Amino acid sequence: MQSFRTEIENPVVAKDIIALERKIREFREGKVDDEHFRSLRLARGIYGQRQPGVQMVRIKLPYGKVTSEQLHRISDVSDKYSRGRLHITTRQDIQIHYVSLDRTPELWSELEKDNVTIREACGNTVRNVTASETAGIDPAEPFDVTPYADATYRYMLRNPIGQEMGRKFKISFSSSDADTALSYMHDLGFIPKIKDGKHGFKVLLGGGLGSQPRHADLIYEFLEADRVIPLIEGVVRVFDRYGERSRRMKARMKFLIKDIGLDAFIRLVKEEEKAVPFETYTIKTEGFDSFPIALANLEKIEIPKVEIDDVAAYEHWKKNSVFPQKQEGFVAVGIKVVIGDFYTNQARILADLVRKYAGNELRFSLRQNILLRHVREDLLPFFYKELSALGFTQIGYESTADVTACPGTDTCNLGIANSTGIAQVLEDVLREEYPEYLDNKEMAIKISGCMNACGQHMMSHIGFQGMSIRSGKLVAPALQVLLGGGALGDGKGRFADKVIKIPSKRGPQALRTVLDDFKANSQAEENFLNYYDRQGKTYFYDILKELSDTDNLSEDDFKDWGHTEDYRQEVGVGECAGVVIDLVATLLYESEEKIKSAQSALEGKEWSNSIYYSYTSIVNTAKALLISEGKKTNTHVGIVDQFQEVFVATAKVELRNGINFTDFIYQIKENEPTADFAEKYLKDATAFVNQVKSYRERDLVAN
């Protein structure tokens, strides 16, 4: 581990990587139980894969931006630690697969040499902050949201308020009212607005997908830009404290809002205002535009002369995949990446192209594609030739024929059916039988391998969800067909209806049936959503019903896409095993770790961080004793109330000056984050941990 200390200049990052290596070693030795190790590992972007003994590593790329140097670094890491394949996710990340757990600290240290992180890419954290890939170049945008997405990412990274929540938390920034970052399905979504000459945002709260999708609530028509960060911190604090922790399926913020109501949630956020370290937070907007780099490049290079062999194909590509920027004379070039997979040999050439001939950056889109920015129009023939050689001029960028899909049973532990296989088959059907949809950008098709909706199937016009279906005693792979979802713009959207479940091998015919019916029966200028509403869910159930019959399944119907063996419904092979030890002891150990973090933050004059570490130490410690008594510990609030009732009110644990536990722990809400309070709260937390440890030791001896 010495190399991490010497090669990583940022001491915070170096400490993080060393801590990961130590935790892996402790896990291998049975000193940390599987559940706690999983939480730590996921918060470092390391996710157990369906195949035993290997991991998926998710590389966190805020708002999908990557420079040439970073893409080269990611490619080198993928070749060295994985298999050279890069997978673009629907949250603008990159995933690499088949990585050894023991090599992940080394992998991370390699990435950090070009400021690329895996921190908080998975787990119960604030996930990657997404944004419209056109931010900064969008002719319709009021202003560039890139600096605000970047500031949010940096503010929340390693922030103690968002490290160990009940579930993940997602934030998006759209570039314009088109809302291409899908604010309505996020925990917090921001759409830029200008009011009285000031920059601000329309704000939506509490959206989400999954088995019970929820449309986010509008909480601000206009929130000043310097209040964005304080709002985010207040919301995350409330979610951390009140959110469900035991029942995973009920642990997203949408369920908390449903339980307590939007008004109550907003009141709780306002109660946090004193504890939040900033009333306003000015975000610097300079230095995010790569356009000057593109201009400087053009002054140095000679425009290559090329001959276009197929002019018609070139013109079709320009119409389909090239878009004007707000910067005059420049365009953006979209690259369709089939199911989000491309390879390091392609990535390196692409990286060199944008470094030499564009703005030295590209962005990954939420539909698993690549957008090259700041390409001068007279360079388009050259780019077409270069991209053609890479297989990157396929028609259909962000179109109906550009099917979004999660990895499904290829690698994901939770996958039920093969989403990538059916996605590629549907793309073949569209390209060969319905070529008009290669240029249709008004209708989207999305597929997920399970109900968790990583493929965003329930907010698409035509969606498919991987399932299973029974035929007698046998089980076949199946698809739930969903229709009628989609983004409407300016924070509005609709979720698709579940129409019918069919055997997976009939998915292509289901698509043909829907598209043929739409073509035959839609009215002039009627879009698909209006057509669906006019006909109604029952109509589509009736025209698809024949495909749901399981009495006539063939042998092939029992094999999933891309497989030769019969289908078996199963969750993937479990993650690497650890020795399960005393959970109470582990929680107390974690409390001591939080005390150390609080002390470190105090020494670094990070008052707010120190206070929150002290708070989580107190919560963990109280939780440990409650678990020892067999009590439920679903939420932080529940832990506080129960600890007061079970231990303090009964005088089993006596706090200083007879204070009750609620007042003791909630000092965090009643005090501003000053140096004096941070120091006092840390002393209180340390004393509490020691007191509970002593109580625990006496209790063990007595029993």
DSSP labels for 255-273? HHHHHH-HHHHHHHHHHTT
d(CA 273, CA 283): 19
Long-range pairs of 386-389 with CB within 8 A, sequence gap ≥ 24: 386/349, 386/353, 387/333, 387/335
What pLDDT band is residue 485 in, cutting at 50, 70 and 90? very high
d(CA 386, CA 662): 65
Question: What beta strand segments (E) does 381-485 contain?
Answer: 404-405, 445-448, 462-471, 474-483
Q: Which of 577, 396, 493, 449 is CA-nearest to residue 174?
A: 493
pLDDT of residue 579: 30
Convert the pLDDT of each residue in 180-212 to its tens digit.
999 999 999 999 999 999 999 999 999 999 889
CA-based max dimension of the chain: 88
Q: Which of 400, 453, 402 is CA-nearest to residue 424?
A: 402
d(CA 676, CA 681): 9
Is 477 a residue whose pLDDT tops 50?
yes
Residue 688: exposed, middle, or buried by beta-carbon count in 10 A (0-12, 13-18, 19+)? buried
Specify whether domain 2-112 bears CATH 1.10.10.10. Answer: no
Cα separations (Å) of 269 from 208, 278, 429, 662?
A: 19, 14, 50, 18
- Strand 361-364, strand 198-205: pairing: unpaired
d(CA 188, CA 254): 11
Q: For helices 507-521 and 528-535, what crossing angle results, to 10°?
A: 90
DSSP 8-state secondary structure symbol assigned to residue 412:
B
Task: Give the angle subtended at the CA of 50 by the CAs of 45 and 53, to the nearest 5°.
Answer: 75
Question: What beta strand segments (E) does 94-246 contain?
Answer: 94-99, 130-131, 171-173, 188-195, 198-205, 217-224
d(CA 611, CA 615): 6
Question: What would be the CATH architecture of the domain defined by 404-558?
Answer: 2-Layer Sandwich (3.30)
What pLDDT band is residue 629 in, cutting at 50, 70 and 90? confident
d(CA 233, CA 238): 9
Let me know: does 620 contact 580? Beta carbons within 8 Å.
no
Let me know: does 160 contact 609? Beta carbons within 8 Å.
yes
pLDDT of residue 700: 61
For residue 597, the surrounding DSSP H or E stretch is helix 583-603
d(CA 357, CA 516): 44
Convert the pLDDT of each residue in 565-618 to its tens digit.
888 765 443 332 223 335 687 788 889 989 999 999 999 999 999 999 999 999
Convert the pLDDT of each residue in 140-163 to its tens digit.
999 999 999 999 999 999 999 999
Residue 605: exposed, middle, or buried by beta-carbon count in 10 A (0-12, 13-18, 19+)? exposed
Long-range pairs of 495-500 with CB within 8 A, sequence gap ≥ 24: 495/213, 495/215, 495/458, 495/459, 496/457, 496/458, 496/459, 496/460, 496/461, 496/462, 496/463, 497/537, 499/537, 499/540, 499/541, 499/544, 500/540, 500/541, 500/544, 500/545, 500/547, 500/548
d(CA 57, CA 59): 6
Topology of domain 583-702, CATH: Four Helix Bundle (Hemerythrin (Met), subunit A) (1.20.120)
DSSP 8-state secondary structure symbol assigned to residue 648:
I
Q: Which two tokens stand for residue 367?
A: 């539909």
pLDDT of residue 453: 83
Convert the pLDDT of each residue in 495-538 to its tens digit.
999 999 999 999 999 999 999 999 999 999 999 999 999 999 99
- Strand 55-59, strand 171-173: pairing: unpaired
Average pLDDT score, the chain: 92
Lowest mean pLDDT, pick from 12-21, 35-44, 225-234, 379-388: 35-44
Q: Which of 128, 266, 161, 151 is CA-nearest to residue 203?
A: 266
- Domain segments of the chain as ranges: 2-112, 130-271, 291-389, 404-558, 583-702
Task: Give the angle subtended at the CA of 119 by the CAs of 332 and 125, to the nearest 5°.
Answer: 100
Residue 487 phi/psi, 5-degree rounding, is -80, 135
- The residue with tokens 């993650």 is 575
Is 43 a residue whose pLDDT tops 60?
yes
d(CA 232, CA 228): 6
- The residue with tokens 């419209």 is 132
pTM of the predicted model, to two decimals?
0.92
What pLDDT band is residue 666 in, cutting at 50, 70 and 90? very high
* Fold equal for 291-389 and 583-702: no
pLDDT of residue 3: 44
What pLDDT band is residue 130 in, cutting at 50, 70 and 90? very high
Topology of domain 130-271, CATH: Sulfite Reductase Hemoprotein; domain 1 (3.30.413)
Let me know: does 681 contact 611? Beta carbons within 8 Å.
yes
Q: Which of 155, 157, 154, 190 is CA-nearest to residue 171?
A: 190
Question: What would be the CATH architecture of the domain defined by 291-389?
Answer: Alpha-Beta Complex (3.90)
Bridge partners (DSSP) of residue 528 are none
Is 703 a residue whose pLDDT tops 70?
no
Lowest mean pLDDT, pick from 178-192, 219-233, 247-261, 420-434: 247-261
pLDDT of residue 590: 84
Convert the pLDDT of each residue in 677-693 to its tens digit.
999 999 999 999 999 98
